[in-house]
């Protein structure tokens, strides 16, 4: 086994979303580094049964919601416009 091609396998500390900590060995970071998790089995809906909500740490969910906030209402308005344009009774009342 060549010694120069393998990554350094060292001990790090992992901090879960609820603040609990444990030590493990990993190739991530440097010896003694602390890995803070944003999502773990205690907070992710897939493992928690959907009880908890995801924390929007990077603002991605907020950014998406802001970008598409009017999507549904605009789509509904366009559908209503098409219905009124194609309705002969409404068109008669306009004339």
Whether 53 shows a pLDDT value over 90: the answer reads: no
18 compared with 70, residue with greater pLDDT:
18
- Average the pLDDT over each of 11-15, 33-37, 56-60 and give the range with the smallest value: 56-60
Mean pLDDT within 1-14: 88
The model carries a pTM of 0.48
Q: Is the pLDDT of residue 7 over 70?
A: yes
| Contacts of 24 by beta carbon, 8 Å cutoff, 6+ apart | 11, 12, 14
Q: Where are the alpha helices (DSSP H) in 1-95?
A: 45-48, 60-67, 71-86, 88-94
Question: What pLDDT is attached to residue 35?
Answer: 95
Distance (Å, whole) CA 34 – CA 14: 6
Q: For 37, which DSSP code? A: -
Report the pLDDT value the prediction gives residue 76, as an integer from 0 to 100: 60
- Give me the pLDDT at residue 78, please: 62
Does residue 62 or residue 55 have the better pLDDT? 62
13 or 49: which carries more pLDDT confidence? 13
CA 83 to CA 95: how far, in whole Å?
17
């Amino acid at each position: 086994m060549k010694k120069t091609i393998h990554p350094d396998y060292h001990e790090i500390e992992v901090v879960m979303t609820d603040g609990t900590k444990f030590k493990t060995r990993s190739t991530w970071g440097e010896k003694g580094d602390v890995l803070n998790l944003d999502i773990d089995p205690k907070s992710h809906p897939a493992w928690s049964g959907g009880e908890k909500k995801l924390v929007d740490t990077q603002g991605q969910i907020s950014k998406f919601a802001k970008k598409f906030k009017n999507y549904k209402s605009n789509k509904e308005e366009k559908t209503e416009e098409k219905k009124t344009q194609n309705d002969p009774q409404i068109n008669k009342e306009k004339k």
